[in-house]
């Protein structure tokens, strides 16, 4: 919100409430999936529970661990593509 000219004059309270609601939505939608907003912590958590904790109980099912290992990289690639597209269309719109 700080980089858009229309939001530059928004109060800090509005920016804080917006950030709070975005983070709350991310946590609320992924609460049962074991997702994490930090990819490094998500990989460590998943590796521990699938690789270490479940093998102690005799249960080992790592069929879905690839999702937790691959999706942070796919998400970063997708974010870079969207950012580049947004930057190019913004530059054309502004006449740069």
Q: What is the mean pLDDT of residues 4-30?
A: 80
pLDDT tens digits, one per residue of 45-67: 777 777 676 666 666 666 777 77
Task: Give residue 43's pLDDT band: very low, low, confident or very high (50, 70, 90).
Answer: confident
Residue 38 sits at the vertex; the CA angle it makes with 77 and 81, to the nearest 5 degrees, is 15
How much is the pTM?
0.51
Average pLDDT, the chain: 77
In sequence order, the 6+-apart residues with CB closer than 8 A to the CB of 53 are none
- Say if residue 71 is exposed, middle or buried (CB neighbours under 10 Å; 0-12, 13-18, 19+): middle
**What pLDDT score does 80 carry?**
94
**What pLDDT score does 1 carry?**
41
Inter-axis angle of helices 65-94 and 39-46, nearest 10: 170
């Amino acid at each position: 919100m700080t980089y858009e000219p229309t939001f530059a004059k928004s109060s800090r309270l509005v920016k804080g409430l917006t950030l709070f609601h975005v983070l709350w939505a991310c946590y609320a939608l992924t609460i049962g999936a074991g997702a994490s907003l930090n990819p490094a912590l998500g990989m460590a958590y998943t590796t521990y529970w699938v690789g270490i904790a479940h093998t102690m109980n005799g249960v080992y099912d790592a069929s879905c661990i690839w999702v937790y290992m691959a999706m942070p990289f796919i998400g970063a690639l997708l974010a870079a593509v969207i950012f580049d597209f947004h930057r190019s269309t913004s530059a054309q719109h502004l006449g740069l």
